[in-house]
Structure formats: structure tokens, C-alpha cells
Amino acid sequence: MNSPWGNRAEIIKYFGWTYDYLLWGITWLNVQLMLADGARYVTADEGEESSDGKPVVHRELKTKKEILDYINGVI
């Protein structure tokens, strides 16, 4: 994305819009806010610390009970 056209193409692809809708159907301010507030995630390597200072632990949840315990905060 080295040009405005590449930027527009990625936005169209991401949201599934037409070029006409991007130009005339939605304000550019709304597009920028949608991109800025979009959900993002960052993967952490084993041994790294999370934002609260606790070490990151990777677990493989294989059974229904392990998943349920994880969701309920037992693990």
C-alpha cells in the first residue's frame, strides 16, 4: 500500500464494498474510525510477559473439560 489506490483497494477487499460505495456511499471519516477501532491481536512467544507483567503461558486445550475450565478461569 504505497499509494491511495492501494489503500482503497485493501479497504474494499477487507469490508467487501464496491469502489463506488467507498467513494460516495460512506464518509471517509467513518472509514478511518472503523479501521482505527477494529479488533486486533498480537501473538506472544513463550516466555514473554503480558501487559500486566504476568508470564504468557501457551496451553493446548484438548478436551471439553479443559476448555470449560479455561473459560471459567480454573486453569
Handedness of CA 16, 22, 8, 32 (dihedral sign): negative
pLDDT, tens only, 35-68: 898 877 766 665 676 677 777 777 788 999 988 8
Position 32 scores a pLDDT of: 92
Q: CB count, 10 Å around CB of 3? A: 8
* CB contact set of 64 (below 8 Å; sequence gap of 6+): none
pLDDT, tens only, 2-15: 788 888 999 999 99
Mean pLDDT of 15-35: 94
Domain residue limits, the chain: 4-36
Give backbone dihedrals phi and psi of 55, rounded to 5 degrees, phi first: -65, 145
